[in-house]
Amino acid sequence: MRLDKFLKVSRIIKRRSVAKEIADKGRILVNGKVAKSSSNVATNDELVIKFGNKTLTVKVDALLETTKKEDAERMYTIVKEDYAQDFRKD
């Protein structure tokens, strides 16, 4: 499955066009390598997604063509969630 489609179907990123833009800027790694939006994703792959302040590391558990909101979280497991600066702590 394409990386941008996986991110959209799993609801990690809400729109496929946004997933494509983030991937094409080199902010997504698949198994430690910079990935493009057209890169293939398989089960057991590790994705590192760099949002602005947040870096999310997930493991791909399942590839589903379509999902309902309740089933989307079955597609991945969050391994790590880091913040460059944690604004939640005062």
Q: What average pLDDT score do residues 15-36 get?
A: 90
Domain count, the chain: 1
Give the domain CATH number at 67.
3.10.290.10
Structural domain includes residue 11:
yes
- Estimate the share of the chain in helix, then strand, then coil, as percent rounded to the nearest 5: 20, 30, 50
The pLDDT value recorded for residue 29 is 92
Which position has the token pair 């941008």?
4
The pLDDT value recorded for residue 89 is 63
Structural domain includes residue 88:
no
Is residue 86 predicted with pLDDT exceeding 80?
Answer: no
Structural domain includes residue 89:
no
Structural domain includes residue 19:
yes
Structural domain includes residue 9:
yes
- Domain ranges, residue 28: 3-83
Which position has the token pair 């799993």?
10
Structural domain includes residue 10:
yes
Instruction: State the CB neighbour count (10 A cutoff) for residue 62.
Output: 11
pLDDT, tens digit, 9 for 90 and up, residues 32-83? 899 888 888 999 999 999 988 889 999 998 888 887 887 788 889 899 888 8
pTM over 0.85: no
